[in-house]
Structure 1
Amino acid sequence: MIEWTHVDDQLLAYGTLKNDLLFHKIPKENYLYYINESLKLGKQKAKTYKYLSVEELCQKNHIEISYNKQSGKFYGVQFRAQIELKKDYRKIILYTDSLCEMLEASQKYIDEQITFEDIVQIHLAHELFHFYEYIDQQPTNERLDRIVRFHLGPIKLHSTVMSSCEIAAHAFAKELLHLNDLPNVYDYILLIHQKEMTIDGFQTLQEQWRREIGE
């Protein structure tokens, strides 16, 4: 197993922010605002439930946990978990093939003692945060400042930063499960495992991110 080093929360959050469809509309001086506020909201929410396990939270909220042996790949996008909220049921679907691939990568690069259940817990916690956003009617993106996505003379159209929800969900999972890193670090580990990125390349990427956010 290759020794893995801790990755700063702000850098991992920035990696998620950069995936936002409107990232190019976010002023550079506001990068840290969206990063830090999203991290704070996710962490604060987790502290509300710090005495309950993920399974207890699902039971308390009548959320069914379902395992699907499919890969979770739809229209070129790979899902490992998703939550379905209907009028008559609440369900988190876990795609076991995708989770097993992540487990293999994690055991190779981070911790050979990590288990399938650990991977499941991370994904359940992430989806639970989105559930709380839904029932509380307080999605993270709506709680943060809007950005100008179109400007023509006196006309300005504003939008929210949707990726803030993902950053907050990562922070929620990290805090609730006492993880060393934001769980989206596993996405990069998987890329390395699939040979789509190297460890050195990931280190270089982190250095680039650090420069971009002005660290």
Structure 2
Amino acid sequence: MAVSIPLLLLSVFASLAPLALATTFRDGDYIHTSRKAQFHQSRTNWQDLLGQHCPRFGIDRLVAVPIPKPQLAFGKGDTYKLQFSFDGDRHLTPWLPLLGEGAPAVPLIIVTLRRSGEELLGATAAVLDAPEEYKQRHPVLVAELHNVTHWPKHVLVHYRFDTRNDVDLDRGLYVLFPVGLLAVLALLLSALRGVQPKLAQFLADVTSEGTTAAAAMWKGSEGKGE
């Protein structure tokens, strides 16, 4: 089965496409971040955060992110959740309870961003009860959270990075191996197509010469009267 060179190139480009589309960052670059809220089973649209509330690539930092006021009145039995997206919605966190049932008294969101080289690989997040030292350092924020009528409130978000330098090598091998294999197969098929006519002619010549030699030997033996 013949494989055309354009088809091979298309396969190679398809295998390289995910790497080409990946966003690259330099240390200190702001990572595009959005948030949306959920309250009373309704959700807001994605809203972009200002740079001062976004993570910076490769730098651990603590920020106070404002959370939007719900359209309906917020009561003690209600639950208010938040979700983050990073790098143009490529990486999403789960829904994080900030107020109401299932939420800590003073929430602290821990966002772990996985990176390798200049690429952001993923994001995870969890909500914890803020340590006492955080509460003492941010008394205004604590007072806002406990005041039902005060909006906008702010929630502490700690961005931290998990660096995995070995991932680049692995991903490179995963890409290079199939690309190299496809290239070798293409060369073999191309060489086979070029050799096939010559091989067929060679076999035909050998068969013809063998038949002629056998006929000559048979006539020669008959002529000697054996």
TM-score normalized by the length of structure 2: 0.21
TM-score scaled by structure 1?
Answer: 0.22
More helix by share: 1
Rg (Cα) greater in structure: 2
